[in-house]
Amino acid sequence: MRAKRPDLPGTGTARLAPDMAEAMEARSHAPRAPGAYLALTRDRARTFGGRALIFVLTLGAAMLCALPFILLSGANLAVTAEAFFNGALGSKFAVAETLVQMIPLLIAGLAVAISFHGGLFNIGVEGQLIFGGLVAGVIGAEVNAPPLVLTALCLLGGIAGGAFAALIPALLKAYRGVHEVVTTIMINFIAISVALYAVSPAGPFVSATQPSATEKIPREARLSMIWDGTRLHFGLIIALLTVIGIWWLLYRTPLGFRIRLLGANPGAARASGVSVPRITIATLLISGGLGGLAGAVQVLGVYGRFFDAFSAGYGYDAIAVALLAALSPIAMIISAFFFAMLDSGAVQMQAVAGISREMVGVVSGLVVAFVAIQPAILHLWARLRQKTAQRRDRNITSGDPA
Amino acid sequence: MSAPSVHKAAAIRLTGIDKRFGAVHANRAIDLSVAPGSIHGLLGENGAGKSTLMKILFGMIHADEGRVEIDGTPVAFRSSAEALSAGIGMVQQHFSLIPAFSVVENLIMGRARGSVLSRLTRKLDLKAAAERAQELSDRFGFGIDPLAKVATLSVGARQKVEILKALWGGARTLVLDEPTAALSPPEADELYAVLHRLRSEGTTIVLISHKMPEIMHLCDRVTVLRDGAVVGEAELAGQALDEPAVRQPIEAALVNMMIGRDKPELPERAPLEGPVILDIRGLTDGTRLGPIDLKVHGGEIVAVVGVEGNGQSELVELLMGLRKARDGMIGIDNHNVVDWPTQRRLDAGLAHISEDRHATGVADTMSLIDNASIGFVDGAPFSGSPLSLSQKQRRIFTEVLIEQHKVRTPSPDLPMASLSGGNQQKLVVGRELARAPRLMIAAQPTRGLDIGSTVAVQDALLRLRAEGNAVLLLSLDLNEVFAIADRLVVLRKGRIVGTMQSADFDIDQIGRWMSGAVEHVATKPEETDPQTLEAAS
Ligand SMILES: Nc1ncnc2c1ncn2[C@@H]1O[C@H](COP(=O)(O)OP(=O)(O)OP(=O)(O)O)[C@@H](O)[C@H]1O
Ligand SMILES: [Mg+2]
């Protein structure tokens, strides 16, 4: 932090013209017309409505395109749908399992979203998640500390591990302009290999009793269960708090503003004094840290130890989660829940209706595709409406009511 | 030849065009008819709806209501591609070229005809296209190399490429949206010659412009829009516009129609004495600029003029800290800021109205509130701590800016892209003025502004000066320089080749300096003793 010495110029505080400050002061005390509030509310409702519509349209289109594959695998649609809903929401246990699935997707989705906000494509969330999980698992197994302290250490270690995995891509991007897509994907492979090695028979952290895993974390140091008789753990609260934190970071802090400005127009960011390398590094480290947190929460909440295949590709699904939510942290709760439903419903679908679990991958791929072509869809939509309007006009002018 | 007759089929006839964007009624039942082979002017304040109307004609946006007829036949373009194939070309207010591509690649982009299969399999005949581009360029005297990369071209050359692009498909109707806003006077003159030639070849032209002399010089007829509605028309062809007695009343009447009052006048100004605020010594970036010496005092507006590409952008970037200085110092209020990062310079009292708004001034997709906050997110005004940035204060700030600078928008929550070009500029100027700058770097501050707003911005710069601050004005418009600057320096090949006080402004001498005709005679300020310079000012 720069010291604040208002009498010297250039000391870390933006200048504001005194008459501007006065005008703002006057305005903040002036009563507001109720009409203005009404207009604001209406605008917000409209924006919200528009976003919701896009969300539903994108999902609907992806599901529709997945339909032929389901039919091709020879399933009965009604049975499939029923199995799916039973699996995802059918019972207390099913709902809890869906929520358990949602936790890593949500945190990892935030990791992807914050990098996208900064105009950076962190494709390495999977690697950061694995690395974070490994660090958390190792700390939990090897460090002696009182339970809650150990939990905190594991979570912080996870965040640090994820951030560490993002560090090299961040530095390369900031100072050498190396594209982060390439480097983060490469780090994915490294992270996976390191994790495999760490718990391989010759690895330093492998458990004495269980191959491919670390020793167990003491039960008291794991995340506590928050719903009796289910596997739902405290990670849900952590995930929701993270949502609020990231929303606040993005929209209510100077750092978040700089991240968004950098993403929206790097030229304007630079010209207004944003240090592009610094914000690039910060963004990627936060993103990596979130990825690591997702891994640590999964290790601490679900398995109680790290094992080499603990991630079911959450870091990749997170890309679809973030895109479907249009990068909005709040909307991500819904999109993560949706993908979690797919995941947990798919198990039942496979068991009852004989549909492969890989269907989830198909749908999430389709979602990414449809988000990518959203502008084209919106254009088509506008054209369709235009056509209808023209037809209506013609009918009116020719006096022929349709 | 160009006298329009109501009986002849109009080249363009718009009837009852109506368009709303949410709460904004951008076009209200507009009727417009343009005679074939004429130049038709479209005038109006920023946000009056000119660009919207022309984009509707061009099929880029769709009217809510109304009809479009071309040469007497009704049309309903679904896209600009259809408008192009119907012989309408449009040059947008903002550049639409891809800098990394060559001129000819830009020209043929999106022009493929035929089925998808044939488009995919046919060989791209760049050579023939380049020949054709050369031919077109020669015919209009553009002097453009079709194989040059757009990124290497000057703004003026890019504008010509935009026009080539609009004419490429053999357009018989050409719409130009503020084509000279970014051009220097000589470049604009070249463009006028081209437009005259096009008209004599029978092309119909619609010209949107805020520059009255240009309208008077070119147009056969003008239509004035206000608040989205037509408020008047005037016939200019056949008038003796060279006579001030004839021209002035017409001009005054048009201005009155546009803004509902007479053209506002700038206040008288007297020389002011102030301490040195900007003190540049031996500054160079090692390549394109300098070394130069320049002092700007408080209460002084110094204009930097010169042909584009002679070091102006480099000077601004050096001052802003966006480009590394090889040597020399930049003093602001007695602090040598040459090693300071941009942020610190801003905090120390620098402000910058950027020449290229879209590249460095605004973020199109962010809201007006966010755009107004650019450069304001540090410390007191909006951020008590690194953990908070007040949304409420930012909103109030934006609302005050919108009100003070008459930015036309229904809500500060809308994205920047929804504002008309001039209104974006007003918001940027307002934001930079709100920094209470000690030194304002104003690069083309009135670009794209209507007559009223231009005077308002010039007046605001004069007020800054009256309060004892310094202004460095970079302008292509010598009229603007003469109107508000106290002194000008001419930049050529990165050096200051001449300097002149406002009392001695002499357009011919400036022209000679700019073109390098008298380089050997010009004083070289970097060799003069700074003391004498001060004594002179
Ligand atoms: N896409 C859009 N969304 C919302 N509002 C829009 C959009 N495009 C234009 N507007 C609004 O419509 C009005 C007319 O805009 P237009 O661009 O046609 O003005 P203009 O006459 O070309 O002004 P200028 O001289 O500044 O270019 C403005 O108030 C603008 O804010
Ligand atoms: Mg416009």
Among residues A178, A180, A152, which one has the least CA distance to residue A283? A180
In this structure, are B36 and B157 located in the same domain?
Answer: yes
Cβ-based contacts of A47 with chain B (< 8 Å): 413
Report the distance separating Cα B435 and Cα A21, nearest Å: 11
Cβ-based contacts of A20 with chain B (< 8 Å): 397, 400, 434, 436
- Tell me whether residue B237 is in a domain: yes
Q: Looking at B435, B461, B483, which one is the last position of a domain?
A: B435
Determine the residue of B419, B424, B453 to mutate for testing ligand 1's pocket, defined as the one with the most ligand atoms within 8 A of the Cβ atom. B419
Give the pLDDT of residue B237.
86
- Tell me whether residue B264 is in a domain: no
Q: Looking at B233, B259, B285, which one is the last position of a domain?
A: B259
Q: What does the DSSP assignment read for A141-184?
A: HH----HHHHHHHHHHHHHHHHHHHHHHHHHHHHHH---HHHHH
Give the pLDDT of residue B176.
94
Upper half-sphere CA count for residue B110 (Cβ side, 13 Å): 14
In this structure, are B243 and B300 located in the same domain?
Answer: no
Indicate the number of domains in chain A.
1
- Tell me whether residue B201 is in a domain: yes
More confident residue, A99 or B505: A99
Report the distance separating Cα B320 and Cα B341, nearest Å: 8
Report the distance separating Cα B283 and Cα B339, nearest Å: 12
DSSP state of B362: -
- Tell me whether residue A71 is in a domain: no
Query: Which tokens sit at A338?
Result: 């949706």
Report the distance separating Cα A254 and Cα B379, nearest Å: 9
Could you tell me the strand order of the sheet in which B439-443 lies? B350-353, B439-443, B470-474, B300-305, B487-492, B495-501
Report the distance separating Cα B430 and Cα A231, nearest Å: 56
- Tell me whether residue B1 is in a domain: no
Chain B contact probe: residue of A117, A265, A279, A387 with most B CBs at under 10 A: A265
Chain A contact probe: residue of B343, B364, B435, B441 with most A CBs at under 10 A: B343
Cβ-based contacts of B373 with chain A (< 8 Å): 257
- Tell me whether residue B358 is in a domain: no
- Tell me whether residue A333 is in a domain: yes
In this structure, are B52 and B158 located in the same domain?
Answer: yes
- Tell me whether residue B231 is in a domain: yes
In this structure, are B209 and B91 located in the same domain?
Answer: yes
Considering just the CA atoms, what is the radius of gyration of chain A in Å? 25
Average pLDDT value for residue range A162-183: 95
- Domain range for A160 is 98-365
Chain A contacts in chain B segment 110-139 (CB below 8 A): none
Whether B370 and A252 lie within 8 Å, measured CB to CB: no
In this structure, are B224 and B195 located in the same domain?
Answer: yes
Indicate the number of domains in chain B.
3
- Tell me whether residue A166 is in a domain: yes
**Which chain A residue is nearest to residue B353, measuring alpha carbons?**
A271
- CATH code at B517? 3.40.50.300
Which H/E stretch holds residue A59? helix A34-72
ipTM of the complex: 0.88
pLDDT in tens, A50-59: 888 888 888 8
- If DSSP codes are grouped into helix, strand and coil, which group holds residue B374? coil
DSSP state of A385: H
In this structure, are B285 and B369 located in the same domain?
Answer: no
Give the pLDDT of residue B2.
44
Please check whether residue B332 is in contact with residue B178, taking contact to mean a CB–CB distance below 8 angstroms. no
Query: Which tokens sit at B48?
Result: 């009056």
Report the distance separating Cα A282 and Cα A275, nearest Å: 11
Is residue B152 exposed (0-12), middle (13-18) or buried (19+ Cβ within 10 Å)? exposed
- Tell me whether residue A267 is in a domain: yes
In this structure, are B314 and B332 located in the same domain?
Answer: yes
**A265 has pLDDT over 90:** yes
- Tell me whether residue A10 is in a domain: no
Global confidence as pTM: 0.88
- Tell me whether residue B267 is in a domain: no
- Tell me whether residue A392 is in a domain: no
In this structure, are B426 and B449 located in the same domain?
Answer: no
Q: What is the pLDDT along chain B (537 residues), one digit of tens a residue?
A: 444 444 567 899 999 999 998 888 999 999 999 999 999 999 999 999 999 999 999 999 989 999 999 998 999 888 888 898 888 999 988 888 898 999 999 988 877 666 677 767 777 778 888 898 898 888 877 788 999 999 888 777 888 899 888 888 788 999 999 998 888 888 888 889 889 988 998 999 999 999 999 999 999 999 999 999 999 999 998 887 788 888 889 999 999 999 888 888 888 888 888 999 999 999 999 988 979 999 999 999 999 998 888 899 999 999 999 999 999 999 999 999 999 999 999 989 999 999 888 889 999 999 999 999 999 988 777 887 888 999 999 999 999 999 999 999 988 989 999 999 899 999 999 999 999 999 999 999 998 899 989 999 999 999 999 999 999 999 988 889 999 999 999 999 999 999 999 888 888 889 889 888 765 444 444 444 444 333 333
Query: Which tokens sit at B124?
Result: 């791209």
Give the pLDDT of residue B124.
74
- Which residues, in sequence order, are CB contacts of A241 under 8 Å at separation 6+? none
Residues with CB under 6 A from ligand 1: B 21, 24, 26, 44, 46-52, 93, 408-409, 418-423, 450
Q: B388 vs chain A: nearest CA distance in angstroms?
A: 5
Beta-bridged to residue B68, according to DSSP, are B14, B75
Report the distance separating Cα B236 and Cα B38, nearest Å: 11
- Which residues, in sequence order, are CB contacts of B479 under 8 Å at separation 6+? none
In this structure, are B400 and B448 located in the same domain?
Answer: no
Amino acid found at B95: F
- Tell me whether residue B339 is in a domain: yes
- CATH code at A217? 1.10.3470
Q: Looking at B411, B435, B459, which one is the last position of a domain?
A: B435
More confident residue, A38 or A381: A38
- Tell me whether residue A35 is in a domain: no
In this structure, are B277 and B344 located in the same domain?
Answer: yes
In this structure, are B339 and B447 located in the same domain?
Answer: yes
Whether B340 and A10 lie within 8 Å, measured CB to CB: yes
- Domain range for B380 is 364-435
In this structure, are B295 and B377 located in the same domain?
Answer: no
- Tell me whether residue A51 is in a domain: no
